[in-house]
Structure 1
Amino acid sequence: MTFNRRHASLAMLASVAACGSSGPSTAPAPQFKRYSGPPVTQVAVYKGQRRMHLLNGQTVLRSYDFGLGNQPVGPKQFEGDGKTPEGLYFIDRFNPRSRYHLSVGISYPNEQDKAYAAQFGRSAGSDIMFHGRGPEGNALAPRNRDWTAGCLALTDQEIEDVYAMLQPGVPVMLYA
C-alpha cells in the first residue's frame, strides 16, 4: 500500500479531531490543584447554553462555559459524527497526561448507545471527555467555539478545577 498525501491528510485530521483521552502527551503531568469544598454530587451540562454546573445537591458550586463537538446540535449517535452525547452518564476515568492538558472521561457509550449504533452497522464512538485546550487544541479553539470530536472543551485552568473537584461515579446529565 502506498502512503500518499491523502493518507497523510486523513491521519492528521484524525489526530486533530480525537478528543483528549486516547493518547498521552509527552509533556510532564501538570501540578494538581486541590479541592477541599463540598463534594460534587452531580454535573449538569446544558449544551444549548454552553454552560456546565458542578453541583452539591441543588447548590451550584462552580459553573463553566465550554465548547462542544464540531456538529453541536443533536445527540451523539455514531463515531465521527462530531456530536456530543445527551443523557445520563457517569465520571469513569481521569487522564493526567491528556493531549488536551487534563481530561475527565464520561461513561459514553452506554449499552443503549451501542445498540442504537449497531442496528445501523456502525460504532457509537468512545472517549468522550471534559478536557482543556492543550497545545493541539489551541490551533482550533480560538477560531471555532465548537471544535472537538464530541468532547466538552474548557480552558486549561478550568479543567484543572474540574479535575480536582470530580470523583469517579459522579452522575453527569447532558441536556440538549
Structure 2
Amino acid sequence: MARLGANAPPPPAPLGEQADSILVSKAERRMVLLREGRELASYPIVMGANWDRGHKLREGDERTPEGTYVIDWRNSGSVAHLSLHISYPNAEDRARAKAAGADPGGNIMIHGLPNGWGALGSLHLLHDWTNGCIGVSNDQMDEIWSRVPNGTPITIAPLPAP
C-alpha cells in the first residue's frame, strides 16, 4: 500500500503564468496548459491501462474519462505526489452508469508518481500505470500544481474515430 504523502506544495505561479484551461490529447498522450489560447507548457502523460478503449464507463474499468470537466480540488497529502481532482463523474456520466447498472467511479486526478517512487522520473512513461488518472513525473506535477488553480476547465479529447 502506498503511503500518504506530506508533500509540501509549491506556491502559486504569477497570474500571467497560470493556466486558464487544460487540454489532454489521448491521441498525442500529452497534456497542454493554456492561457488565453496560448500554450504555456506541455507534458507527456500516462493514463489508465485501458485509456484507448473510450470514455470511462464504470469503477474499475481503468479507462480515462473523455469530455470537459473542471479541476475542483487539490490534495497535497495523497498517495501520489500531489494531486488535482478532475470533476468526473458529471451528471451525464452518472446517468450513463446508472442506466448500465454500474457505479461510475470517481477520484480521477492529475498526479505525480506514487509516494516513494519519484526516482523513476520519466521511466514512468514506459507503462500506463494509473487506474484512469493522468500521471506525470513529480517535477512536472510541482509545476502543474503551481500553474493550475481550482476552477480551471480541463478537456480530455478522445482518440479520433477509426
Do Structure 1 and Structure 2 share a fold, with TM-score over 0.5? yes
After TM superposition, list the pairs within 5 Å mapping 1:14-163 onto structure 2. Answer: 25=4, 27-38=5-16, 39-73=18-52, 74-135=54-115, 142=124, 144-163=126-145
Alignment counterpart, residue 147 of structure 2, candidates 165, 168, 174: 165
Q: Distance in 1 between matches of 2:23 and 2:41?
A: 11
Residue by residue over 1:112-147, the C-alpha shift from the partner in whole angstroms, topping out at 9 and shown as x without a partner, is 0000000111100000000000336668x7485211
Residue type of the partner of 1:106?
I
Deviation (angstroms), 1:43: 0.3
Question: RMSD over aligned Cα, in angstroms?
Answer: 2.0
State how far apart, in whole Å, the 2-side matches of 1:35 and 1:145 are: 30
Q: What fraction of aligned residue pairs are identical, expressed as a percent?
A: 32
Could you say which structure has the larger radius of gyration?
A: 1
Aligned residue pairs total 153
Segments ≥4 residues shifted beyond 4 Å: 136-139
Q: What TM-score do the two structures reach when normalised by structure 1? A: 0.80
Q: Aligned to 1:52, what secondary structure does the other structure show?
A: strand
Structure 2: 5+ residue runs without aligned partners?
none
Give TM-score scaled by structure 2 length. 0.86
Distance in structure 2 (CA, Å) of the matches to 1:51 and 1:122: 29
Contact 1:52 1:64 in 2 (8 A): yes
